[in-house]
Structure 1
């Protein structure tokens, strides 16, 4: 997603792999959950209250899972170390469609599929809000690089990736709840835990963006 003449160099190139590994690890739990859902859809699993909505709309579900998993995995390689313009540009042209498919199908499922057990209006509102921001960030990131505004491009793409990786942080926030409380959250509690995952990721993204603007090294 960068112009061919643009060169990116980051301090601490040797620390690229730890940063990327951490991002991939954060996305592992949703990737595993997505693989289970795809197996259910393609393997003829029994329809239950937990998975009925996925069987009711298998195509958007499959598109959402595949696009989100690939976006999270490949997106990790856009962070850390030296930015090779050609590789960054080619990978970006793959990532933007994947991110848009993940965001748009997520919005579609929120609007048109039945709410799963334990979800409610607040969580649906969070999904609509953060999904819209993710899609908008991708569009603004593309618009910025077309103007050769590299700084704004990087900022918007960082925000989009942070939101796309939200499911990983949400797995952590919900796991911490179970460890501390030892009981499942109620509907509002679950919505707040899921929302916290997106908020945490956005806060980290904004910190990274501010450090870039200040010219200080970043590790992600």
Structure 2
């Protein structure tokens, strides 16, 4: 009887750990979606509050963001990719379209409602939107050129930026962060950069570390 080699033994726990992390991430996304995001999809004036005048761009931004976040875990699930390659490709296209819609609506919101708060806040939102569409576009270009390894790396970067919204929510609702920066004008501008730039930096370190 053939004995499993050491590499196979090591890969199994790693695969289980990766799958567990993706499942936990998916559950957390669902939790935040139902608790904090779904009310916006009802187009209720009470839910939108001061953003009621911008309800449609905000609606499209939130809808596309949810779509991208929910698709993400399936795209990183190796067995799903291997077994359902056509579904993987279809979800990839939907993911890209969602990010394109999200970027356009985010740009509009940045320079309308966002600009009313401050230029720095609007600029931060715009840079996040640019990082979102650029990383997704690079993932698409890579796969079209059949550079699969690069495609996976850019998809990882893209999804990290996609999750910037959740990192923002966590930090903005943190009692500790609020104690350091009570005013949103200061807190928001700081967090809007921190929520994607730092995770993306960490992702870049991990990606390059694995190549050594």
State the TM-score, normalizing by the size of structure 1.
0.76
Please tell me the root mean square deviation across aligned C-alpha atoms, in Å.
2.8
Structure 2 unmatched ranges of 5 or more:
1-9
Please state if 1:35 is matched with 2:38: yes
Give CA-to-partner distance per residue, 1:4-35, whole Å, 9 cap, x none: xxxxxx94322243221332245343663221
In the other structure, the counterpart of 1:61 is 58
In the other structure, the counterpart of 1:96 is 96
Structure 1 unmatched ranges of 5 or more:
1-9, 215-220
**Aligned-pair CA distance for 1:62:** 1.3
Distance 1:138 1:33, change over 3 A: same
- The answer on whether the counterparts of 2:139 and 2:151 sit within 8 Å (CA) in structure 1 is yes
Distance 1:99 1:81, change over 3 A: same
In the other structure, the counterpart of 1:145 is 143
In the other structure, the counterpart of 2:3 is none
Distance 1:121 1:180, change over 3 A: closer
In the other structure, the counterpart of 1:6 is none
Distance 1:133 1:186, change over 3 A: closer
- Between structure 1 and structure 2, the one with the greater Rg is 2
- The answer on whether the counterparts of 2:107 and 2:126 sit within 8 Å (CA) in structure 1 is yes
- The answer on whether the counterparts of 1:31 and 1:69 sit within 8 Å (CA) in structure 2 is no
Q: Quick one: distance in 1 between partners of 2:33 and 2:180? A: 22
State the TM-score, normalizing by the size of structure 2.
0.78
- The answer on whether the counterparts of 1:107 and 1:128 sit within 8 Å (CA) in structure 2 is yes
In the other structure, the counterpart of 1:136 is 134
Higher relative contact order (CA 8 A, sep 6+): 1
**Aligned-pair CA distance for 1:67:** 0.8
Give CA-to-partner distance per residue, 1:120-165, whole Å, 9 cap, x none: 2212111111211211121121111111011221222221211111
Distance 1:81 1:16, change over 3 A: farther
Give CA-to-partner distance per residue, 1:30-87, whole Å, 9 cap, x none: 6632212223x2x3x359xx7333x223322211111101111111222254442604
**Aligned-pair CA distance for 1:185:** 3.2
